[in-house]
Structures are given as structure tokens and as C-alpha cells.
Amino acid sequence: MPNLVEIVKGWSKRKIIVVVTIMTMVLASLILLFSWSQKTDYQVLFSNLSEQDAGAIVNKLNEMKVPYKITSNSIMVPAPKVYELRLQLAAQGLPVGGGVGFEIFDKTDFQTTDFVQKLNYKRALEGELARTISSLMEVEHARVHLALPEKSLFVKDKDTPTASILIKVKAGRSLSPAQVQGIVHLVSSSIEGLNPNDITIIDNNGNMLTRPSDDMLGLTTTQLEYQKKYEKDIETAIKDILEPVIGKDKVKVKTNVDLDFSRTEKTEEKYDPEGSVLRSEQSMKEKSLSAAPGGIPGVQSNLPGKAGTQAQGQQSQSQKESDTTNFEISKVTSHTLVSMGNLKKLSAAVLVDGMYREKKGSKEPVYIPRSDDELKRFDDLVKKAIGYNQARGDDVSVVNIQFEPVAKEEVPVEHRDWAKEIALSAKYLAPLIVAILFYFFIVRPVIKSISPEPVKAQIPELPMPRSMAEIAKEAKPELPEAKLREVPLPPVEETAIKTEITDWSQWVKENPSQAASLIKEWVEAEEA
């Protein structure tokens, strides 16, 4: 340490300023890097909250002494605590979501006016409906607006309620028409007198999800979707029957169906004149026979004391016969209800590609059209697959046409989000890399600059050991170096060589560090 202080004292002012500046910058960089690597990673706890829910959650986080950050539309907490906090807050009923519900009536206030009570009831009903709609997996947030008219004593002045619903769908999700209709019926069933046609639903992009029927076209959106689905199913059936035989992407199908969406009821009564059944039969016979005395009619015959002239008796006889037979005529009464969506007519156009064969000496394949027999078999297969009915007026056409070759595009390989992974890895590898660079480019040069220069080895003035080649060169100086190896060496005094080696060995034992430095210099000179 005293040597280091003396070395520093021997530096110039410029060198001291440079070293101090470098050390200060390195120390500041290390502090910043360490603080960045130890920085807490925050993730979203809840987003798009109402003001009431956001305030309640912030109060709970303060009570739990959990650090948090508030952005424009979300509350963020440390990443390791996200799921734990969500469970804890859910156990306490947070967030409530969808605004206020029927819990607004938990506290009774006798000073509340009738207007405020009605307004609270409307708010509670909207909030409960919004919560129910938000419980769907595809829905992230929902808001419900109700227009509830005042009840009137007069029927002609009665207004119907209406409803408007705003739905924010989760990213990558969408609501099917069946789900939209389910929301419509849910809201209409929750409010008295609300007609499903008076409910409007839009998404967060302003797209209308409920569309009323178009009187000009006579078809609703649901009916048009059903017709498209019917056509799609038929096209799929045709492709499924032909592609295994012809090949994939070698069949193009387009269908058109005429569906009857009218609902009709028909009642018929048919009478069969040839069919009769005896219903009732009535027979009556009457016969009478009688004889009575007779006189002269008039006044004199009826006067007292005078005997009327007896007239000759008259005999009467009557006979009556009646016969009635009733027959019942056969009658058939039928009530027919024709369902909606019946197929009236079906048309299908099928394009079939030909065959391709390789031609010798050419890379381009040769096109071979389909034969008439093949097209006939394809036509029969299509008719059987779609339920062809000639009496209904169905039309099927199978045509062989060469398809335009499509250039094959290289499908990009699905790759992961490398940028995100590299950034995450750099967060943990950056301190190590900076520490290594700091050592090699800062610490090591500084240490070399402040360290004393190594003392060069003091080589003693001893005769260097001579090699065999040098001895041969002295013996035959006129021969080239290649022939020196074959020249017999002259006798050398062994005592002189042993003396040189002994002197070097003694020096190496006495100065090991200098000997090592000497060897190192020799090696570096040899490599250079």
C-alpha cells in the first residue's frame, strides 16, 4: 500500500484527473445498472375500472401496504403479487363492475324523494344488467342505458321502454349472432314491456350488432346468414367428395340456394262423393177405417120434436206410409303448417382441374384434360352428395377447365417474439457483461498504469552454451548448413562444456525469477 501511494504521488496532474474521471464514471454506471436490474417489474392488476371500483381498490391496497402505480386506465402492482392480489380482492367483492347494483338499496333513507328512488332503481337495474352481460367470456366491459317511460292512466298515451347496450369485446374475441340474440332476450325479459326490437347493441368500435329486418328485402340478417351457411355446407360436401379423387385445390365450387322463409298454414276439407255411410233411417206407417150415421144437414133436422130423416150411412178409410233414410258423405279435414327455410331450388357450378404429367426433357408438366366418362362420374357423385331433385328444378354443372398455376409463396416461419426475450435476457446478463468489460477495459489498464514496471532480468555475463551446429560450423566453415550435420565433430573438451553448464545452473538456482523472465523473453522472441 505505501508503494501504491508513492506511485500515485509520482503521477502527473493530467494522469490523476483522467483516472479519477474514469473511476467516477464507472462507479456511476455500476450504480445505475444495479438500480435498473433491481427495479421492480409492475404489471396490470385491473384496467378500465369505474371511478368507484378504482377508488375502492386503491384504498384496499393502501390498507394492505402494497406498492402500486396508477396509469390513465389501469392499476399496476409488482408482478409477483398480481394473481394473489386479484384473489384477495375478489374475496372482498372487488371490483364490483358495471356500476352500482341493487346494493344501493341496502341503506334505507326515509328522506329520499320518489324521484330519487326511481332514479336509483334505474341505476341499479342498469348496473345489474351490465354485470350479467360482462360475465360472458367474450365481453370485457358492458354498459346499459335504459329509457323507462312513466306509467300513464290512458292506454293511448302509453310509451314502450327502450334499451341501448355498449359492449367492449376482449382482444381476439367476437360475439356470435346467437350470443347477441341471447343478450337481447336477456334484457327484454328483465324489463317489463320491453320489446326485443327496441334493443340496440353496439360494440366499442361503433358497429351495430343488432340489425332489424329489412322490409325491402324481406329477409332478416339471421335468415341471410342461414342461407350463406346452407350454401357453404353444400360446397363443403362437394369438395369432400371430389378432392380425395382429384386432388386438393383442384376443385372450385359455387352454389346458390333458393329458400322459402315464409310460414304458411293451410286447412282443407275434402268430400268424397263415392263414399257414403248410412247415418239414420226412419220409417212411419199410418192406416185408419171408420163408419158413422148420417142425416140431412140443416136447421130443420135439428129442431126439437121433429125427427130427421135418416140418411144412409157413409164409410171412410185412410192409409199413410213414410220412409226416411239419411246417408253421411265422407269428409277429410286437414291442417298443414309449412315450416320456414324449405329448399325450393338448388344450383351448383363445379370447376374441375385436369391432370398434369411430366414431359421428358422438360421441367414444365403437360396438361391432360378430363375425359367425358370422368366428368359424368363426377356429375353423378355431386348429385348424390347434395340430394339432387330434378322435379324441384335443381341444376348441377360440372366443367373441366385448366386452372391458372399459382406461384407458391414461401410461408414465413412462425417466430417467437425475439425482441422481448432478448430484452428480458439482457436485463439479467447486462450486469455481468458490463462487469467483464469494466475489468478488461478499465480496471486492467488502470492496474497496469499504476503498477511499477517489472525489473528486467539481469543476465550474467556467462558464456552461452553452444549447440552442436555451432561447433560444426567452427570446424568446417566452408560447408553449407545442410552438410554440417554429416560432418564429424572434432573432439571437444568435455571439461569446458561442463563448466559452462555448471555456471548457468548455479545462476538459475540463485535467480529463479530472473531465469523465468529470461525464458519468457526467449519464447516471445521465438513466437514473434
Predicted local confidence at residue 239, as pLDDT: 92
Tell me: pLDDT of 397 over 90: yes
b/e string for 292-331 if b means 16 or more Cβ within 10 A? eeeeeeeeeeeeeeeeeeeeeeeeeeeeeeeeeeeeeeee
Q: pLDDT band at residue 127, thresholds of 50, 70 and 90?
A: confident
pLDDT at 236: 93
DSSP, collapsed to helix, strand or coil, labels residue 351 as strand
Q: How many CA atoms are closer than 13 Å to the CA of 156, on its beta-carbon side? A: 0
Q: How confident is the model at residue 265 (pLDDT cuts 50, 70, 90)?
A: confident
Reported for 232-235, long-range contacts at CB under 8 A and 24+ positions apart, including other chains, are 234/346, 234/348, 234/386
Give phi and psi for 69, each to the nearest 5.
-130, 145
- β pairing state of 366-368 and 342-352: unpaired
Query: Which three cell numbers mark 228?
Result: 350463406
* Range among 14-28, 120-134, 266-280 rated most confident: 120-134
Return the DSSP state at 136. Answer: S
For residue 398, give Cα distances in angstroms to 239, 254, 346, 352: 12, 11, 14, 7
Coil/strand/helix, residue 278: strand
Evaluate whether 29 touches 58 at the Cβ level (below 8 Å). Answer: no
pLDDT (0 to 100) of residue 117: 87
pTM: 0.39
Return the ∠ at Cα 358 (arms to 357 and 361), rounded to 5°: 155
Under DSSP, the state recorded for 367 is E
d(Cα 415, Cα 63) in Å, to the nearest integer? Answer: 44
Q: Check residue 376 and give its pLDDT.
A: 93
Strands (E), 9-83: 42-47, 69-70, 74-78
Q: How far apart are the first and last CA of the chain?
A: 36
> Which one-letter amino acid corresponds to residue 254?
K
Question: Side-chain half-sphere of 118: how many Cα atoms within 13 Å?
Answer: 9
DSSP string of 468-526, one letter each residue: HHHHHHHH-TTS-HHHHTTSPPPP--HHHHHHHHHHHHHHHHH-HHHHHHHHHHHHHHH
pLDDT of 508 reads 74
Rounded distance, CA 301 to CA 65, Å? 143
What are 173's three cell numbers?
374475441
Label residue 316 by pLDDT band (50, 70, 90).
Answer: low
Name beta bridge partners: 509: none
| Mean pLDDT over each residue of the chain, to the nearest integer | 76
**Residues 352, 356: Cα–Cα separation, whole Å:** 13
Lookup: cell for 461: 555475463
If you write DSSP's letter for every residue of 377-424 in order, what string do you get? HHHHHHHHHHT--TTTT-EEEEEE-PPPPPPPPPPPPP---HHHHHHH
Position with higher pLDDT, 230 vs 485: 230
> Which amino acid would we find at residue 52?
Q
What's the burial of 498, exposed, middle or buried (CB within 10 Å: 0-12/13-18/19+)? exposed
Number of H helices, E strands in the chain: 14, 13
Give 251's pLDDT tier (boundaries 50, 70, 90).
very high
Q: Which pairing describes strands 139-147 and 162-169: parallel, antiparallel, or unpaired?
A: antiparallel
CA distance 122 to 162: 13
Query: Which pLDDT value is given to residue 411?
Result: 42
- Main-chain dihedrals φ then ψ at residue 222, nearest 5 degrees: -65, -40
Indicate whether 319 pLDDT > 90. Answer: no
Positive or negative CA dihedral for 119, 121, 123, 129? negative
DSSP type of residue 361:
T
In 3D, which of 221, 246, 510 has the Cα closest to residue 368? Answer: 246
Banded model confidence at residue 144, pLDDT cuts 50, 70, 90:
very high
- C-beta of residue 201 within 8 angstroms of C-beta of residue 183: yes
Instruction: Report the pLDDT value the prediction gives residue 283, as an integer from 0 to 100.
Output: 79
User: CA 459, 464, 466: angle at the middle one, nearest 5?
Assistant: 160
Strand order in the sheet with 199-203: 139-147, 162-169, 199-203
Contact between 491 and 498 (Cβ < 8 Å)? no
Give me the pLDDT at residue 155, please.
Answer: 64
Q: How sure is the predictor about 358, in pLDDT bands with cuts at 50, 70 and 90?
A: confident
Q: For residue 442, give the DSSP letter.
A: I
